[in-house]
Structure 1
């Protein structure tokens, strides 16, 4: 988000508003403002004026679950404000609510004309990205209908229908056309000397396919109370560390964010589930890899996330091959979208399978969940899905034919299909991009762990000793091959990947820490890698950089070639602890917790790679998701890795 937007999130709904609570709808280089539900913008303009002028923010909106600001008319020192407006906003599921309290500062009766200009453009989020893509929408129509207490906006394109309803109490004195498609709700307020008037506005979004109209909270206070109750219930019983209050605060903030970031999904039998969305603003939806890692981090404390994520992903597991969706039988979905462009096939992300690592991570989470909870029922229920996932790894995934999990660039989707999925993220130290069939190191670690954990489930739950032995043999063979083909003896470090010719992609990257988490490296190699990750070119003081500084490919503001990712570091900390490198694990944990403390105890998706020795505060990455589920769960992983030390 840009610094002028403030984010309100509840389930699959989020709003981004400016310092004064307005929504401009202007498209720029940053993230757009508006009210968004299921990938569509249901409120594209929301602007308050008094006597035809936009008031200024005396107290701008601050970050929080409710947007509050104080507004006054523009003027000089010799013109004390004639009125003050106290504005409060919040979101609920498919809803946006606002209260306005207008107070006269004059000792005489005062009349003011207050107006709220509203519009809904129903733009798909993919249209609002800064890559200037455009999409044809043949036959699309928009209409507006004035109501007794507000206005309704409708959108239709073929069978696709969306609606936004704005109502107010008291009802506006009039609803005016603006010439742009927006509508202006107008009130004439007669204020007694130092008197006050109050207005309540409610916005209901009904996206395509919504089964029923949303239940709109009565007020921002009511919406906030609902969210606080949800957050409190979700965090109840988690044993926060008493000896490290900063980590405790980061865990509490993360759990609160996880409570608000859950979206609805459907299980294999049609049951409704609540699963962690990836993050807001761009990814408030189910992303396979993100939901799996979030659930893994939270597993010792909130196993219900895994209990929902696993069947939700089983329900979307691919059963056939599709070129546009990159689907293959047994593959776990990467991304699920609900917007208009996905519905009409104009983007491939309705169900998109461009991930090489979601499938092994599905198996890792299943094994870890059963081990943690003893829930044999879910392990038996998902046995066909787990076997299909193993089948994909061995067949289409490449383990049998190539010896490793393999992906190829998808021209219509993602060029890279591991967690570092930006173009150019998988590169050599000199910046040369890997080409051909790429075998990313981290994915091989996940595959190794998946084979071992599924072997354990097969033996202890499914009672299939032959299958378990087969998987254990495959895991052992993978480990031997990996240490032969990926290890760079002259650098005492594994390659980031192998390219299509089997050549090592030699950038020094944080992905090596994932190999510690998976247990793929033997003890000697693991200890070398773990200590290397804490050297100054890797460790910024806030965390381990995605790419070590000093390489030609490094850039501190690159998305995946020099930045610091909290979830990446959480995996590294868990891996360091696994190999007995507890001092190093504590070093990573302290860096991340300090970064969270500097940002109000909330870890963003990613921060810049600048060193702590050159800048005393963590530098934000300019396009990071402000709320991100893996980052929200990262403090819980740190708690697992190092306790309250």
Structure 2
């Protein structure tokens, strides 16, 4: 073994340290591994662009330029005299902008041969309404060149659902019109009253373009050292509105409206500094991902703060996702949830519609605006196939009130909340047995309507699929929690009788749940009751949510925690969705053994609720350690449930959405668990129970909002103890109080 500088010994030392899985700290790595899909993506609002790393859109793939659930550009390529370009590098300069650096392959012209690498091409793109695309050429060679630069593009106007399913059906007619004098290419799609347009305008060009054979071509003449530039502006139309591309070039995009909104969001959000570099990077990327996924929803007061679920498939309004993300952001930006409460309240169902799985009082699942939704070929107008969004709405309303102290929130949304409570009683409990069940009534509906909504997610211990009405354990926990929280709201509104009724209902649910769902032999909860009311005893992550909601008695919590942390469930990168010992386990599946960051964030909060600090911090370390391996430290929607060893790294699920809102927000859940965050803004108090793990020596939270007050808190470790102080703001607002409360013990007095 070489001993010059100890290189070999350094590698072995790091390997030894990484093998100490129980007490991993930030260690230097001899090789930085980055994993993620080979793609380049930008997005803004309801529009996004996904390409190959070289900026091109190959056909056929799911890549393309999308707006409002329609693919406007399905193929995009660029050539020099018919020859392709070679990629040097590419990357995002913001979530809405990217640059691609290319060089030419060698090609022949009428006068000479252009050597490979003598021409540099930079493609810059920025989304803000429409798409601005810069093409900039430089001749680095020693001779003048003349050639045709060709941009080939096609539009299929496919609905996003059909692209995802790889089953595209052309229903309307596509027409193309080139206006030579205006240097403008308009491609339109019309199917009866459904219309989409993409208008490509060439501007600031040094040579006049022509259009033929599906290509915009430029006659390029460049002396040695000379540059050439053109802008392509892609405007999007929907038959009523034209969304215009930004007119400024890419080098000015960081001064755009979108960039200013991003900067404003970052100024408004909680400022976080931490001695652990991994967690620090994880947090700051999560804040940017939250900004990237904000949707403009007309008619709301909080236009910028309604989160889409994820890129590429979920750039739309989702009930469950928006609500969980709102909970995650309670510490980071408590006003984040106002938009979700407004919009989801506005779409609350008012009548029964079996095709859309709608029932009076139910909170929606997903809203789409593409061709299939327009003609009711899918039920997403909106679709209501979620059993958990309705109780989650009540949980978010209470949490937002506790974070902001704003009584007007309750006045504004109490009517919606009342309808949610009615739905839970009348429709959520389908058979009157006191439990929440779901089953689709729609021929196009979802078989599974919890967060584990894949068709194959729910399995019996022998691996066969659970069919029919299902009562999932976490749904009972969500309703228990929602009733408890709404009781507190009714107390604050002076309606003690209603509060008492809800607490009594919660007590009955608590008792019956623990009688029926608990399996003493395994020391664990059934994750569901099937249509025959038989417990489904497959070991899954779902009971971890029951810890978060507080429906687990304290004397059972340890058994639940320890079962979740056994090696068949705990991968080392987080808790799996399904036990590795299960016959249906597949670490690369969507929800039968993969690891979901948001799932782990909620489970970590549940661990802390019952006093299991070490396990909560273990999950925090697992997830934050995984984040550093992904491109730009962007946490994907999910990753494989493969076991962690000294020679492995997290493996991304092939179809994962990145960025994804509740995956990014998992960082915020983990931070809440670490500091023991317990806001009570209505009474002017912030209660905390900070416990810094041994891999964080200190952290600072600045611009922490409690109602109208702002605070700066500093935490540090002294040995095994965590110290803290209010560095800025009113110290009397902050008090230490244990967050290890288990279920709400006020039930005992009923």
Shift in Å at residue 177 of structure 1?
A: 3.0
Distance 1:327 1:517, change over 3 A: same
The reply to whether residue 6 of structure 1 matches residue 40 of structure 2 is yes
Q: Which residue in the other structure is 2:197 paired with?
A: 163
CA contact (8 A) 1:90 1:224 kept: no
CA contact (8 A) 2:471 2:530 kept: yes
The reply to whether residue 214 of structure 1 matches residue 244 of structure 2 is yes
Q: Which residue in the other structure is 2:85 paired with?
A: 55
CA contact (8 A) 2:355 2:443 kept: no
Show the 5 A alignment for 1:35-50: 35-50=65-80
CA contact (8 A) 2:335 2:404 kept: no
CA contact (8 A) 1:217 1:223 kept: no
The reply to whether residue 201 of structure 1 matches residue 229 of structure 2 is no
Show the 5 A alignment for 1:557-576: 557-576=588-607
Show the 5 A alignment for 1:144-163: 144-147=177-180, 148-163=182-197
Q: What secondary structure, in the 3-state scheme, does the structure 1 residue paired with 2:218 have?
A: strand
Range 437-446 or range 228-237, more displaced: 228-237
Structure 1 residues 360-419: Cα deviation after superposition (integer angstroms, max 9, x where no partner): 000000011111111111211111100000000000111771211111145412110000
Q: 2:154 aligns with which of 112, 116, 119?
A: 119
CA contact (8 A) 2:99 2:122 kept: yes
Distance 1:209 1:481, change over 3 A: farther
Distance 1:526 1:142, change over 3 A: farther
Q: 2:136 aligns with which of 79, 101, 104?
A: 101
The reply to whether residue 223 of structure 1 matches residue 258 of structure 2 is no
Distance 1:474 1:27, change over 3 A: farther
The reply to whether residue 257 of structure 1 matches residue 289 of structure 2 is yes
Q: Which residue in the other structure is 1:512 paired with?
A: 543
Q: 2:164 aligns with which of 129, 153, 156?
A: 129
Structure 1 residues 597-622: Cα deviation after superposition (integer angstroms, max 9, x where no partner): 11132210000000112752101111
Q: What secondary structure, in the 3-state scheme, does the structure 2 residue paired with 1:265 have?
A: coil
Q: Distance in 1 between matches of 2:471 and 2:55?
A: 47
Range 275-284 or range 11-20, more displaced: 11-20
Structure 1 residues 153-180: Cα deviation after superposition (integer angstroms, max 9, x where no partner): 11112222211111122356343332xx
> What is the aligned-residue RMSD (CA, Å)?
2.2
Q: Which runs of 5+ in 2 are unaligned?
A: 1-34, 108-112, 676-691, 694-750
Q: What secondary structure, in the 3-state scheme, does the structure 1 residue paired with 2:551 have?
A: coil
Q: 2:270 aligns with which of 238, 242, 249?
A: 238
Q: 2:379 aligns with which of 319, 333, 348?
A: 348
Q: Which residue in the other structure is 1:191 paired with?
A: 222
Q: What secondary structure, in the 3-state scheme, does the structure 1 residue paired with 2:433 have?
A: coil
CA contact (8 A) 1:106 1:194 kept: yes
CA contact (8 A) 1:88 1:220 kept: no
Shift in Å at residue 69 of structure 1?
A: 2.4
Shift in Å at residue 79 of structure 1?
A: 7.8
Q: Which residue in the other structure is 1:625 paired with?
A: 657
- Aligned pairs, number: 631
Q: 1:21 aligns with which of 55, 59, 62?
A: 55
Q: What secondary structure, in the 3-state scheme, does the structure 1 residue paired with 2:315 have?
A: coil
Shift in Å at residue 553 of structure 1?
A: 1.8
Distance 1:326 1:209, change over 3 A: farther
Q: 2:116 aligns with which of 69, 81, 102?
A: 81
Show the 5 A alignment for 1:554-593: 554-593=585-624
Distance 1:107 1:215, change over 3 A: closer
* Higher Cα Rg, which structure: 2
The reply to whether residue 451 of structure 1 matches residue 483 of structure 2 is yes
Distance 1:240 1:62, change over 3 A: closer
Q: Which residue in the other structure is 2:667 paired with?
A: 635
Shift in Å at residue 336 of structure 1?
A: 0.6
Return the TM-score normalized by structure 2: 0.81
Range 46-55 or range 104-113, more displaced: 104-113
CA contact (8 A) 1:235 1:252 kept: no
Show the 5 A alignment for 1:273-422: 274-398=305-429, 401-409=432-440, 410-422=442-454
Structure 1 residues 423-463: Cα deviation after superposition (integer angstroms, max 9, x where no partner): 121112221222221101111111111111111112203x2
Range 66-75 or range 387-396, more displaced: 66-75
Q: What secondary structure, in the 3-state scheme, does the structure 2 residue paired with 1:478 have?
A: helix
Structure 1 residues 269-315: Cα deviation after superposition (integer angstroms, max 9, x where no partner): x9856400000100000110000000100112211220111011000
Return the TM-score normalized by structure 1: 0.93
Distance 1:597 1:82, change over 3 A: closer
Q: Distance in 2 between matches of 1:267 and 1:521?
A: 40
Q: Distance in 1 between matches of 2:512 and 2:283?
A: 39
CA contact (8 A) 2:120 2:140 kept: no
Structure 1 residues 5-50: Cα deviation after superposition (integer angstroms, max 9, x where no partner): 21111222110111221122x234xxx1111111011222221111
Shift in Å at residue 127 of structure 1?
A: 1.3
Q: What secondary structure, in the 3-state scheme, does the structure 2 residue paired with 1:9 have?
A: strand
Shift in Å at residue 93 of structure 1?
A: 3.1
Q: What secondary structure, in the 3-state scheme, does the structure 1 residue paired with 2:424 have?
A: helix
Q: Which runs of 5+ in 1 are unaligned?
A: none
Distance 1:202 1:266, change over 3 A: closer
CA contact (8 A) 1:68 1:86 kept: no
Runs of 4+ in 1 over 6 A off after TM superposition: none
Distance 1:160 1:340, change over 3 A: same
Shift in Å at residue 72 of structure 1?
A: 1.9
Q: Distance in 1 between matches of 2:618 and 2:572?
A: 9
Q: What secondary structure, in the 3-state scheme, does the structure 1 residue paired with 2:147 have?
A: strand
Q: Distance in 2 between matches of 1:207 and 1:305?
A: 29
Q: Which residue in the other structure is 1:466 paired with?
A: 497
CA contact (8 A) 2:302 2:339 kept: no
Q: Which residue in the other structure is 1:608 paired with?
A: 640
Distance 1:108 1:296, change over 3 A: same
CA contact (8 A) 2:597 2:663 kept: yes
Q: What secondary structure, in the 3-state scheme, does the structure 2 residue paired with 1:278 have?
A: strand
Shift in Å at residue 104 of structure 1?
A: 1.3
